[in-house]
Chain A
C-alpha cells in the first residue's frame, strides 16, 4: 500500500506536470512548487477521491487570511499529508 505522501506526490506530479523527484515532504506547494489556486482545486478533487475525504480548503484559506494559521501549516506537503491522515482517521472513527 502506498504511503499518504507517495499518493499525494503522484497526484501533484500528474496534475501539475511536476517531476516526482522535485516533490519532497518539505516542499511548499505554493512557494516551492508554484502550484496556484486553480491547480490546487484539481489536486483537492484527486485527493478527496483517493482518500474518501473532503479537504476543508476554504476553512484553511480563511484561517490563513485571518492570520490564525500560516500557509506552511497546510501547504507544506508533510503537514498536508498529516492533515489528510487526520481526516482519514476521523472518517474511520465516525
Chain B
C-alpha cells in the first residue's frame, strides 16, 4: 500500500476467471502522512481507504475478466461496513467476487480480512468504459505487472 498515492494493493495473490474471484494482498505501511492526521497519536487506516482497497481489488478482477479491454470506474458502494480498526503495519487480504455485469457496468461483492477475520465489506458498482487512450491502457498493464497480476490467466475478451 502507498496510501498517499492511492495505491492500495501490494500484489495480486490469485485470480480465478471461472469463479470470477480475485484476492489481493494489501500491506498497511508502518508510516504514512495519512496516519499523522487519522488520528494524531492513534493511527488507524481510514474506512474510505478500505473501500478504495476493495474497489481496486474489484477493478483488477473486472480487468482480468474483460481481458484488459475496458476500464472500470467506481460509481457506488452499497452496504459498506467497517467491522474493526486497522492500525499501521497490518497485512490485509482483499477478496472480490463478481456478482453481476452487463453492458457498461459491473457489480462486485468485496471484503477485507486480517488473519482470516473480516474487517470490512461492501457491494461495489462500476461503470465500465473504453480506455480513454492507448497510453492509459498501457499504464494499467504496467501497473498490473508491478502487482504480479497473472496475465497468463486473462479471460478472453
Contacts and interface: CB of A to CB of B under 8 A. Distances in A.
Interface of A: 37-38, 41-42, 44-45, 48-49, 54-59, 61
B100 A41 contact: no
B1 interface: no
Interface string B76-113: 10000000000000000000000010111101000000
B127 A38 contact: yes
Main secondary structure of the interface of B (DSSP, over half): strand
B125 interface: yes
Contacts of A57: 102-105
Interface of B: 75-76, 100, 102-105, 107, 125, 127
A38 B128 CA distance: 11
With a 10 A CB-CB cut-off, give which of A37, A42, A54 has the most chain B CB atoms.
A42
B105 to A, nearest CB: 4
Given A38-B75, A38-B127, A45 B103 contact: no
Contacts of B102: 44-45, 48, 54-55, 57
B11 to A, nearest CB: 30
